[in-house]
Structure 1
Amino acid sequence: MQRLGVRILLLMLVGVLLAGCKPATEQGIEDRVGLLTSVERQRVADFQHSLLQDYDIELKVVVLERTAADLDQKALQLFEEYGVGRQTHGARGLLLVIDPLGHQLRLEVGYDLEGLYPDGFVGYVENQQMAPFFQAGRVGAGIEATVELLIGRAAGVGAADGVDGGTPLTHLSGGGGARIDIELGSGAPVKEQLADSEPFAAADTPEKTLRRYLKVLQGHIKDPDLGLFTPSTREFFQNWLVTDAQQDNELRELQGVIDQGKTVVADGLAVLRFPIDKRRNSPYLLRRGEKGWMLDFAAMSRLIGFNHRNQWFFRSTGHEFMFAFADVQFDGNGFPHEKP
């Protein structure tokens, strides 16, 4: 029910963003049981290509045909057999091994990425991001959502910070990573409704509504019927999967820029936007109702897209919220720039 949840929907359109480019190959995916659809395979391949080109990280995805008695050992074995990380400038490989019959998965981490992706972080991503998607039977979307967090962490730390880029390639992994038990397709988590939702009602200013939304993220609240959402947003979130990891990620992003926000209001509409150089922080769109200002995530899902670096753009520039961007110039792909 939050913006990073919407981002996953938009990131599924990465093939559109890469229009005109040769599609990424699927050599980084080994799925003989057909767990992923052809469309999901191509989307995952696009993300793998982006990780390698932009962050020098090689991601391999393997779906096992037979269950592994010791998945930790199996992942380490496959890591070496496939040479995961040899396409990078060091041992910068990631291997996601999914064992459907054994109801388990493991994300193995190469030597040079252990500082960037320590075991605690990997376990958190598996439990709070992968597990909800996989349990809902949305394996492809779960991998995409996980890659988004991996990219976000890589972008936040930087290519050189906390990462050794020169490990000799005698062995590519020393067993870093984490394994979890998981039931594929066991069902999406239930969204609990709040007994008292008044603290999350529409507020009398857009800024107050966004501050209340911060509390939603902090509390991992997933009730889709909150008053600070527009009616169309409540309907949108009824069937949309939201994870704790997504909410945590958006919370960090929003807390870093909320005091830099600029609000523009016109005719019952409002846009709360951030400095143009904050490319990962897209604007929030709001509508005024009888009880106050409400966040319109349904409109955001239609109008705002994100590229593989999580940088926002408008999918069209002929919509009703453009009044708030008179001082911004948009290029042919909808990305914002300061006017000269």
Structure 2
Amino acid sequence: MTKKTLFMILLGAMCVAIASVGACRRWDHQRDGFSVTERPTEKRHVYDYAGILKEGREYAESHLKQIQQAYAIEAVVVSIPSLGDGHTIEQTTSDIMNNWRIGGDHGGRGIVLLLAEKERGVKMEVSYELEGIFTDLFCGYIEDLQLQPYFTSGQVGIGLIAVMEELEKRAQIEAGKGDKKALIARLDQEYLSGGAGAKKELSVHDHKRVRKAGSRFPAGRTPAEAWETMIQAWREKVRDPDLGVYTSLGRLIYRDYQSIPDTRFEENLKSWGAKPYRVLQQGRYAVIFFGNQPGWDNAPFLFFRSKDGWQFDVVHQRKFIRMGPSPVWGVEWSNHPYVEILSSSPGWMGQDRPFADDDACTNEREEETAARILELEEVVRKVPREFGTTMELGRLYAICSMGLKAIPLLEKAKELDRTSSLPYKYLAIAHVDAFYQYRAALRQMEGYVQRAPDDPSGYSFLGYLHLQLHAYNEAIKALKRAISLNPDNCYAYAKLSEVYAGLYKVPASGDKNLSAYKTLSLENLKKAESAATRDPRRVMRLKKELQRKGVLNTFVN
């Protein structure tokens, strides 16, 4: 029994004792489907009653599920429109913890993160069993410095991602070896020196007051010089997005990070300030490389040489360098020089979309694209309900690694023109690229193919999304439809081969078609190889995947 549970039992006994004179008010929020006294029948990790977590809900749900499976910790995130009259965020969070029995199936190991929209309040509650790991100072750090600044500035999606990372880092400490108490004490001391846990009014850095510093942080003459310039910017906690060491689109992306807390700069400096590295270069593309060993702080950084010099390529950093469950990182597969440079690094295919080159954000056209985004932003600000400009701005956000900005804008475009297929297509791209939210993307692609039934790329992407969700029969139907619309379809043949390999590797109970699945997988591999649009890198990667799944024994590169 937790200390908090004991307190609630005693409080309940007091209420019963004086109920005859009506002196104890029953605590029972019940509005918008939320009840503080009873958990919904469907157990999940994210309860978004305020509707403020839509963009990152599937990502958070998946990440918290992984934490539960890996560390036996049940963590839930709850958003509510308001606390209601007379209710404090501390009491409401405690009541959710106890009444919903968070962590009850895991030895009492539970965490509740509550967000109250109207009050802009954040509270993290930890069960007694976890207080030695997720200390009061850690909770204060999450509330005051990690999440609330993002919440206050309307960027709760970004803040929630950061919280997921911090929860997993701390859970890893408990699961690891060595002197855990000493490590936690040291980390807590750092939080304390940074002001975590203090009961105070938080001030968010106002981007209008951010000092301009761009001329002091120019593009580098070499990748190493550009990297050292970035480190110096972290050291000085520079929030100016218009640094010469960022690419044109990178400067637009960093506009949304001007209110980040000082601790983010300090963490960056601690992780990479003095870390040994190598420079891997291919023409105008370079990688600051720390080796292939696990650890999020070993993930590489990408740089591009523009006409001004070497600059940090934020767009492709977001697109290609992705973090899995800590300490895993990987490189998203693509036909791109960065991916070729990092061909020996851990690789994923979580964003393998089949659309044409005009839906790719290229380094060569980056300045032109950035100028177009600025132009469209001004038009949309003046004329907010015009479909064409709203749609085009949302599209550019989606393909330029600004998914959090793209999603609400594209949802608005859907309302402005309910017949257009385009918002659905780019919403699917944004959901996959930003958070790997395949279910959300699937709903959008279903809407897209209904409105664009003759586009083979739509069915190809639909098949890919079903494949990612292991819905193999649905994937087969969609990919076969794509091939019927375009028989010369290397992408669809390759994905069909993967689907049949998946059925062969993990067959359904009682399925006796293993030999047929293997044959079909190999047949589609041959079709992918012989297609006029053959993609040698895709075929090579497919062969490695089939070999891993036991479909293909050996092959010659």
Query: Structure 1-normalised TM-score?
Result: 0.72
Deviations 1:171-212 (A, max 9, x none): xxxxxx9697889xx998416543444442223332232122
Q: Deviations over 1:25-77 (max 9, x none)?
A: 7623344343433x543332112201111222211223345435333233223
Equivalent pair of 2:322/2:331 in contact (CA under 8 Å)? yes
**How far has the Cα of 1:97 moved from its partner?**
1.9
2:125 corresponds to 1:69: no
SS in 1 for 2:207: coil
**1:133-169 CA distances to partner (integer Å, 9 max, x unpaired)?**
2123343443232112221333356446637xxxxxx
Residues 46/26 of structure 1: CA separation in 2 closer, same or farther (3 Å cut): farther
Structure 1 residue aligned with 2:379: none
Say if 2:162 is the partner of 1:135: no
Q: Distance in 2 between matches of 1:140 and 1:332?
A: 24
Deviation at 1:119, TM superposition (A): 1.9
CA RMSD of aligned residues (A): 3.3
CA–CA distance in structure 2, aligned partners of residues 27 and 323 of structure 1: 39
Change (3 A) 1:26 1:301: farther
- Show CA shifts across 1:295-334 (max 9, x none): 11122122222223363222224211245336x1655648
| Deviation, structure 1 residue 262 | 1.2
Q: Is the 8 A contact 2:295 2:326 kept in 1?
A: no
Q: What is residue 125 of structure 1 aligned with on the other side?
A: 142
- 1:70-85 correspondence runs (5 A): 70-85=88-103
Greater Cα offset, 192-201 or 273-282: 192-201
Q: Which amino acid aligns with 1:93?
A: G
Distance 1:267 1:103, change over 3 A: closer
Q: Write the letter of the residue equivalent to 1:79.
A: M
Answer whether contact 1:115 1:162 (CA < 8 A) is retained.
no
Which of 57, 63, 74 is the aligned partner of 1:47? 63
1-side partners of 2:346 and 2:46: how far apart? 36
Take 2:48 and 2:247, find their aligned partners in 1: how far apart are those partners? 41
Match of 1:167 in 2: none
Q: How many equivalent pairs are there?
A: 290
For structure 1, the 5+ residue unaligned runs are: 1-24, 164-176, 335-340
Tell me how far apart the structure 2 counterparts of residues 322 and 103 of structure 1 sit (CA, whole Å). Answer: 41
Preserved contact between residue 106 and residue 179 of structure 1 (Cα < 8 Å): no
Give 1:57's aligned residue: 73
Compare the two structures and name the one with the higher strand fraction: 1
Deviation at 1:263, TM superposition (A): 0.7
1:226 aligns with 2:243: yes
Is 1:265 matched with 2:257?
A: no
**Structure 1, residues 64-98: CA drift from partner, whole Å, max 9, x if none?**
4543533323322321111222232x442111122
Which residue in 2 is equivalent to 1:320?
A: 337
Helix, strand or coil for the counterpart of 1:87?
Answer: helix
What residue in structure 2 maps to residue 247 of structure 1? 265
Secondary structure at 2:44 match in 1: coil
Give the letter for the 2:64 counterpart. Answer: Q
Q: Distance in 2 between matches of 1:235 and 1:33?
A: 29
| SS at 1:305 equivalent | strand
CA distance in 2, matches of 1:103, 1:304: 32
8 Å Cα contact 1:192/1:222 also seen in 2: no
SS at match of 1:318: coil
The structure richer in helix per residue is: 2
**Structure 1 residues 112, 294: closer, same or farther in 2, change over 3 A?**
same
Structure 1 equivalent of residue 299 of structure 2: 282
Kindly state the Cα deviation for residue 223 of structure 1 after the two structures are TM-superposed: 1.1
Which residue number corresponds to residue 187 of structure 2? none
Distance change in 2, residues 1:44/1:324 (3 Å):
closer
Q: Which structure: larger Rg?
A: 2
1-side partners of 2:150 and 2:244: how far apart?
26
For 2:198 and 2:120, the matched residues in 1 are separated by 11
On the 8 A contact 2:329/2:346 being kept in 1, the answer is no
CA distance in 1 between counterparts of 2:342 and 2:56 reads 35
Residue in structure 2 matching 1:109, options 119, 126, 133: 126
Write the letter of the residue equivalent to 2:153. Answer: A
Conserved in 1, the CA contact under 8 Å of 2:331 and 2:347? no
- Contact 1:55–1:159 (CA under 8 A) maintained in structure 2: no
**1:144 & 1:240 partners in 2: Cα distance?**
14
| 1:295 and 2:312 are equivalent in the alignment | yes
Secondary structure (helix, strand or coil) at the match of 1:321 reads helix
Change in Cα spacing, 1:80 to 1:196, as seen in structure 2 (3 Å) is: closer
- The one-letter amino acid paired with 1:142 is G
Q: 3-state SS of the aligned residue for 1:50?
A: helix
Q: Is the 8 A contact 1:313 1:333 kept in 2?
A: no
The two structures have a TM-score, normalised by structure 2, of 0.46
Q: What CA distance in whole angstroms lies between the structure 2 residues aligned with 1:332 and 1:61? A: 28
CA contact (8 A) 1:75 1:108 kept: yes
Distance, in Å, in 2 between the alignment partners of 1:210 and 1:287 is 11
Using a 3 Å threshold, how does the CA distance of structure 1 residues 109 and 329 change in structure 2: closer, same or farther?
Answer: closer
Larger RCO (CA within 8 A; separation ≥ 6): 1
Which string of whole-angstrom CA distances, capped at 9 and with x for unpartnered residues, describes residues 249-269 of structure 1? 33333247x21x111223232
Structure 2 distance, partners of 1:309, 1:289, is: 33
CA contact (8 A) 1:32 1:63 kept: yes
Distance, in Å, in 2 between the alignment partners of 1:262 and 1:180 is: 44
Using the aligned pairs only, state the percent identity.
23
Alpha carbons of 1:242 and 1:178: their partners in 2 closer, same or farther (altered >3 Å)? closer
Question: Would the alpha carbon gap of residues 69 and 331 (structure 1) be closer, same or farther in structure 2, given more than 3 Å must change?
Answer: closer
- Amino acid of the structure 1 residue aligned with 2:68: L
* Match in the other structure for 1:210: 227
How far apart, in 1, do the equivalents of 2:43 and 2:206 lie?
31
